[in-house]
Structure 1
Amino acid sequence: MLELRGIVAGYGGTTVLRGVDLIVPDGAVVALLGANGAGKTTLLRVASGLLHPTEGQMLLDGNDVTRSSPHELVRRGICHVPEGRGVFSSLTVQENLILQSARGEEKEALERAVEAFPRLGERLAQTAGTMSGGEQQMLALARTYVQHPNLVLLDEVSMGLAPKIVDEIFEFLTLLRGQGASLLLVEQYVTRALAVADYVYLLNRGEVAFAGEPSELEGEDVFTQYVGADIGH
């Protein structure tokens, strides 16, 4: 379980997160929603160790990991898929997957990746940077499957993709959850995110404006008030 307590964080002299409390239970999907600039990406950077908070505490399975490095958190089972295709563009698909797999498990990792995204099996020898945006996103997501993470942080993984590819990605997220991973999901398609989420947090100017179950949002004007974007389909 990931728990953030009173997190204050930002860049330089600018504070972005102001006393954020958030919990991702084991095996759960938590949707993190909010308007552009609300602090969603900053929160994921804190959770992955890329940004250390100036105040507050981060706990992972009850252990204080507030000052842990990204590498330490990866070893503890956290996998971060950042916005914007997290792949090595100059390497082939196969080389990308081998780099992300554990030593001695390369063959199994390739098999698992191709099982999750059969299209990657047709592109193993292709340079990742020459693939379509959707295929690159599949490659970025495939590493979350081969690394057997406990917690996956996902930042706008459907952004700019065709609806059919978005469908495939959400099918994959369901598969990933079925393997026992917890998901913290930042997503532009609000209705899609709420459909798979167990819990939802709304960020407004760096503060938690709502925390609860998706069903509690029914009939409330939360999207225009806090999200400020098209809820998508």
Structure 2
Amino acid sequence: MWGLLGETVRLLAAHLHLFTLISLTVWLPGHLARNYLEFFGPSERSLLPSLRLVLAIQLLFDPLVVAATLSALGRIKQGLPVGYATAMGEGLAAWWRLFLVRFVISSAVVLPALAGLAVVPAGVRGLVAASLLLAVAVLVLIGLVRYAVVDSVVVLGGANVVTAWRRAARVTAGQRWPILWTATILFIVIFAGAILVGEVLRAAPELNHFVVRVMVDCALAVGQSAFTIALFLFYWRGRAAAV
């Protein structure tokens, strides 16, 4: 696991310019629009439109970022030349297949969460409903780990929304605990970084303006490429099992 994390950092650092260009193709205009709404929109109504915008970009266009990143990684590991145009072109070719797979995953995560908002916390019915939702949450977590490399299977393996799941499960067999711990460590690091930046902006309000916020959000977006790289490396290790 630690060796894979080290390789993740090395790949991100060695090709930072490429991953930055890919990520910011979508997220620079996205974060410009989001922060414009938060800074210059009506203060009482700016948060909800901003959240909707980010969720829409995440659902529709983040699959393009992931697909292009995976295409670049596949070429890098094979020793093939790769540039921005090549990665984006191959990413575009896989965009809609990955979008459909991501939509299924998002639905599996969001629907139980929406159901949880409707649970009445008091009484026996509330307790039963909460227990069922907890069980569903555990099943969703197991599914996310089981199919963690599905993006790579779709983009690099040519799978679709029907065939990708079984192939992804084969690749993750024997790797699921390392996948879980690796994803957890990356989440903690990135989340801690976001919290630290938030505290700095709170301590120095003069820094909390439009340009700084856009730069911080873009840096975090590029940093999240580490998740894609790490899961790609798990796919690369276990891809023979998908044959």
| Greater Rg by CA | 2
Bigger fraction of residues in helix: 2
Verify same fold: TM over 0.5: no
What TM-score do the two structures reach when normalised by structure 2?
A: 0.27
